[in-house]
Amino acid sequence: MRLFGLMIVLGACSDKGGDSSTTGGTTPSTESETTPPTDDTATETTTTTPPATASVSGTVTTVDGTPVSGARVNVCRIQCAFTDTDASGNYNIAPLSPWEAAFYVVPDSDSGLMTQMVLLTLADEEERDLDAVMLEPDKSSPLPATATETEVAAGVYLTVGADILEPAPLTELGDTFTAARVPDGMGMPIELPGTVLGNWYFGPFEADSEAGVAVRLDNLWGLAAGTSVEVYAMSLPTDYSWLLAGTLTVGSDGTSLTGDARLPILTTMVVIQP
């Protein structure tokens, strides 16, 4: 069962194309045990709410610097705070609690741009500046009816099909698979240990797969035979974390990377050299 479909969404949304507005940051409660259980005393819990002291602001543009207005910017951990970018592509979300959250930007459905998602860790009283560059798909492919290995982007092969995917809540899978590789220097921060070799955005955004979507890569980086890399997928906001999808290793011929990597969800994929 997908918990994201049950997520409570809080916050105020700015008028599209109007002045930038802020939303009230959400502060989901956390429970901690304060009194150990005994024969005579039932377990007691206390609910604590981290102080909402942080903020995130920035500008959303296309690759050529054109402002993207009306894009929905979300900061989610179980619940969401969100706003829409103004006519200049600006946004501001505050106040937010200092913790890990999913940060993602959803463009207007008619824009043809990709949705992007990363993990965001905020510190107490931090005022984070975070710009986002929206990408058009590098390639659009027909979504196979049954799982078939398909080159969805240059050198990226996913075994994908409508039969192994579940659409995001309130959406349909459609008949097209889209993918874009994030150009060097245009991606948002990736909070993972190691060297980021590549970063891709996929659609249908947030379609998930219980079986997992198998990954194979061309050796796009000229890695030596036997070198292993880790593949991560950005999880749903209820998990607010990078999920290790598995590892891939350069074969003896040095041309491709194969292994056990399987994406549980189609959002952001990152390849890391540990």
- pLDDT score at 38: 44
Greatest CA separation for the chain: 68
At 29-49, the pLDDT tens digits run 333 333 344 444 444 434 455
Please give the CATH number for the structural domain made up of 3-31+47-134.
2.60.40.10
Tokens representing residue 201 in the block: 């955005």
Whether pLDDT at 88 is above 70: yes
Distance from chain centroid for Cα 35? 38
The answer to whether residues 100 and 239 touch, using CB atoms and an 8 Å cutoff, is: no
Which residues does residue 128 pair with via DSSP β-bridges, in sequence order?
Answer: 56
Whether pLDDT at 93 is above 80: yes
Reduced to 3 states (helix: H, G, I; strand: E, B; else coil), residue 5 is helix
Cis peptide before 95 (omega within 30 of 0): yes
At the top level of CATH, the class of 139-273 is mainly beta
Domain with CATH 2.60.220 in the chain: 139-273
Whether pLDDT at 139 is above 80: yes
Q: What is the pTM of this model?
A: 0.81
Phi, psi of 5 (to 5 degrees): -65, -15
Reduced to 3 states (helix: H, G, I; strand: E, B; else coil), residue 40 is coil
Domain with CATH 2.60.40.10 in the chain: 3-31+47-134
At 102-117, the pLDDT tens digits run 999 999 988 999 999 9
Distance, CA of 11 to CA of 83 (rounded, Å): 8
Average pLDDT over residues 223-230: 98
